Structure 1
């Protein structure tokens, strides 16, 4: 067994190999305190079949036994991946994917299993570190190593691998992955921080990454597993030259067509002509011909941007596509907005619910609730395609999470807004930056719904083309620019600063200066987008939507909660059925009644008030006779509250028998005469009759 230990920011991280999962091509156990993750890497032998893409799959699973819990549900075993597991798998995948050989086509699988987890250290970044280490010590061709760290800023101080408690207090929280020389990936959230602060956090993380990469290099040297040979992609003799000769002019013409559909059609026609012309000489080489033409397209588009400063749709490098914004587009939705930027369109819808609509999250750390969520939907028609829809994709989960984090800092503080908020983004058209369009439509829809957000939020996706010393930073990238470029850098925030970032870099050597320039260009673009959004809606509406439930909030004593709920929930169910409202009660006695009409809410409030009402000395009540004794009657005058009317207090005149005045089940009027220190209550019907008599005498 080989073991390596390193101390980062006062925390000891251990990497081990050679003990567990020895049949995997690479297996590493990563430990931080009591958090333990096993990461394996396996790549199949060359099958001779080329699927046309690199079949890499990354799975991250959190086992319930890791925290000493048994899964809920009927089957009592872990089911499909949770949202957290999907997001963690994406964090592992993104920095390593660009580091495999360009034509490597062997099926490759990374599996990260959380075997033990304490309540301080999250396992996701340790799994990212383990994935790089497992690939590096294996024979799988991987041009790493990389390392993944989390950095947080708490009270002005940067912390590497912060605890969960520290993350709660942080105003910057980023996951950063990179090699010894450059940053590969950044993802995280912040509280409206400046571009300078964000760069400082990334640079702090990179210093820790360099140390971790050195440890993996040491481990790799000790394992000393030679990398398997990878054959370079070769084309049939003369094919590349002939495709270039026949197709180059057509590609050059096609890439200058500004409209996406027309451009794609022209490129397909060029490919069809070249394939037809070479069919006899190079049969069954359609895939290779298309690949060569794609390389020509990529080279020429990049050259056009770098040398002419001209983009695919004719824009300058820092130019934003035309924007149109509209609110209140759906008559029954609580809030809605349509955001269109070029050929990317997001319909944002806000629904306001009650506490019973909160999402219950059953994670290995325990059960928790979410009162704010954002769901991103990407139907195939948005790109003019027809595909089967098989549940929510990993991409949809990832894009939704990024937009959710971007909008979270401007939402009302906890305890000040009693609604559960759900935002849905329907992507109706897509040609780049759909997650950032979601941020914009979501922000406007929140304002349209009357949610008291602190500020508007806008997002922009930045791109990069870099060849040697020539660099072009692109604002508001198209889908093709993302595909053909070197960077996808999404930045979302308010006028005051950045709320969320996601950056993926496909090449080495992105300097801090380039990142700084990209962030500044993104800031200018973000402010321009916010100006356009403000034309549609500038401030949240004063009142929430008339279609949203009205929530009435008040407090009851904690010891009265059981009285309102009743045995097995019988009492509260009766109130809900009677009035048609929704009722939620917190442990601290906060009661929320949600109703579409105030009349129903008032009825429910009245019923609850009666249940929790305290007896008041001298106050009259209508009560029901529960038991009759020789010395008096026991009367329930408030729900669950009984008092005794002594025989002498039943009437003004002398009473010989209790049953002369009342029997069990009768309703009588009583006044609270006395409340004893032990809680016993004396009632009087005589006092009530005397009061009524005086009223009558005054009236006459």
Structure 2
């Protein structure tokens, strides 16, 4: 039976519905906000998985019919999820995963379909609400409900779930998920906002989250929910736990306290192997339990040491950043590069500067047409970075997520495309990893941009924060290791400049955090970020003043839109000829902005001159050398610029009377003329005699043949007056489309 609740949220209609669609799923929900609609369906396996972790899968798919579109390309159906779908799926996964009970290992799948898109409201936060309700309405054990909202700020006014248009003017965009009492996930970017502003945004978000949770609870009270499924957490016999603890507890604590990652891993594994071998004869049926107990001992040893002594396993204090080394310009042919190393995390980052032709074209249901992206950051995490052997099967969801986080961090401080008309691509290859490789990508990316000569507003650094919390006792850790990430309660990444935050991401493994701890973590993260920025400034304090000799040089010229057709030429012949002759790239948009890109200043200058010659406007009083294109009884038409012809009247050829045009000029002759007039219809008049001295005794009033300079008379009225050839019809032309704005979707 269908049930629904409807209320106003953030000034628009919000509907949560269940019981009409996907009724064979364990739980389902339809959420509508404005005219954007998402459908969530959740299913669960009846048996436990043998995997050593909770097998949760989240799929988020945008249907193109939602926006009344047909997929582009040769295959007219939706294919593999694009980056925005993957990022939205990660937001849902990271928000709901901590709220399943510990030890629950039945496989759970969450599917979210975007089935209507009004191109005003983003569907990702609606998907969080739909997924939460679907799980809570099912038999799956879950410590919810939760909800998610997006927060923006326009002219100092906070906005919940801003529209795409409002986000274009917002200095902050945060997606926040939370329960009734705490925050569970944060993701977003900003334009150098303060830590206090972020905390303020989180408070606004939490108020909105509570409203959405209340709506879910209202609907949950209306439906008949199934009993939660029975499941049992695997229990290990007490004698086995006691013996493993007796043999390994002290040795594990000693083994984890190694500064080097591989030494620490080897020492811990050696202890585990020795304990297993010793206890196997005693407990032959419990061999699988040994690893679980030893993992718990490692977990307790690290956390207990930090909370009791304030020292971490590599000897650092909680707020201490690992040693940093920086090498810039390490790749001779790259346009900019940096090798950034912090402890045992290392990123090789390269910048490539391209032209407007290199923008990424995106087909999105959130925009009416095709959008473009002129800044990209791609993050790669090969298995050798952690000393592992594993298959490589394309870009992982984790790599897409980490790349997006680093891209957000740098995007806000890049120059506008109009000021620096380059497409920018950054590639971060992680060569070593022991904690926070995404933040190393931010630091290395900022340095590589400086090395490439990109006029950034400020340098950007990032740091990952951790948390160890037991009851009311907790410790916040700066620049966490991989072990601290794995065994800790929080991974909180903050990137920004000296002035403020540009990107933030928080994931937790406990049920939630209150704002007091988050406020403290943000303040400690700022200290770490400023320290790293100081180290970066020692290596490269400002962007280089010159671009790499291998980078294209780009110049822009504004021409009259009426000249676009002349520049393009019939079927693009003219513009292609310029590109082939100068080995440059020339593009023009519908406003008449011409962009010329070439490797080498000479090629660029030659292309610029050719464009100017074709598109320049003739100036009255200037002297031109042109070619006679045709002759008539009343004069000749001379091409003074490519595609621009003007009338040289017979009366303007010589001071003396001219009987016949061909007596002075013939078709194909090169002549020097002066532009003497442009009438109200844009017609141009030339003169040859204006460049010759007047014969002595010639009266001013009867100059030449008495027609007056620029006159149309046929000389003493002997020839009938005829209109010269009028304006030629404009040539058909096509621009290169709207100039791309910096960033991801054009709304950003």
Q: Tell me, which stretches of 5 or more residues in structure 2 are unaligned?
A: 697-748
Q: Higher mean Cα deviation, 324-333 or 491-500?
A: 324-333
1:498-551 Cα offsets, whole Å, 9 max, x none, are 111111121135222211211111111111111111110112222333332222
Residue aligned with 1:52, SS = coil
**Which residue pairs with 2:327 in the alignment?**
326
Where does residue 4 of structure 1 map in the other structure?
5
Aligned equivalents of 2:621 and 2:437: distance in 1? 67
- The CA distance in 1 between the partners of 2:268 and 2:306, in whole Å, is 18
Q: Quote the offset at 1:181 in angstroms.
A: 1.4
Contact 2:549 2:600 in 1 (8 A): no
Cα separation, 2, equivalents of 1:447 and 1:124: 34
Give TM-score, length-normalised by structure 1: 0.93
Could you tell me how far 1:211 is from its partner in structure 2? Answer: 2.3
Write the mapping of 1:59-458 to structure 2, written as runs, cut at 5 A.
59-221=59-221, 222-235=223-236, 238-280=239-281, 282-283=283-284, 285-364=286-365, 365=367, 366-458=369-461
Provide, for residues 26-65 of structure 1, a one-character-per-residue CA deviation record: whole Å limited to 9, x for no partner: 110101111111111111221x550222221111111221
CA contact (8 A) 2:655 2:694 kept: no
Structure 1 contact 136–216 (Cα < 8 Å) conserved? no
Q: Report the CA distance between 1:269 and its aligned residue.
A: 1.9
SS of aligned partner of 1:45:
strand
Q: What are the within-5 Å matches in structure 2 for residues 300-699 of structure 1?
A: 300-364=301-365, 365=367, 366-508=369-511, 510-617=513-620, 619-629=622-632, 633-645=636-648, 665=668, 667-672=670-675, 674-683=677-686, 690=692
Q: 1:579, 1:115 → 2: CA distance?
A: 49
Call closer, same or farther: CA 1:619–1:412 in 2, change over 3 Å: closer
Report the CA distance shift for 1:608/1:478 in structure 2 as closer, same or farther (over 3 A): same
CA distance in 2, matches of 1:79, 1:12: 32
Higher relative contact order (CA 8 A, sep 6+): 2
Mapped partners of 1:106, 1:358: distance in 2 = 44
Name the residue aligned to 1:698: none
TM-score, scaled relative to structure 2 = 0.87
Q: Is the 8 A contact 2:559 2:616 kept in 1?
A: no
Range that drifts further, 486-495 or 70-79: 70-79
Deviation at 1:280, TM superposition (A): 4.5
The alignment covers a number of residue pairs equal to 692
Q: CA deviation at 1:645?
A: 4.6
Q: Matched residue of 2:46: which SS?
A: coil
Distance 1:358 1:509, change over 3 A: closer
Distance 1:212 1:677, change over 3 A: closer
Within 1, Cα distance between the matches of 2:538 and 2:69?
52
User: Match of 1:697?
Assistant: none
Deviates more, 1:583-592 or 1:494-503: 583-592
- The alpha-carbon distance between structure 1 residues 192 and 679, as it changes in their structure 2 partners (threshold 3 A), is closer
Q: CA deviation at 1:637?
A: 3.2
**Take 2:629 and 2:289, find their aligned partners in 1: how far apart are those partners?**
92
C-alpha separation in 1, matches of 2:566 and 2:308: 77
More divergent stretch after superposition (267-276 vs 12-21): 267-276
Gaps of 5+ in 1: 695-700
Q: 1:2 to 1:663 in 2, by over 3 A?
A: same
Distance apart, 1:396 and its partner CA: 1.1
CA distance in 1, matches of 2:418, 2:646: 39
* Contact 1:460 1:522 survives alignment (8 Å): yes
The structure where helix makes up a greater share of residues is 1
Distance change in 2, residues 1:32/1:509 (3 Å): closer
What is the deviation of 1:661?
A: 6.3
Q: C-alpha displacement at 1:417, in angstroms?
A: 1.9
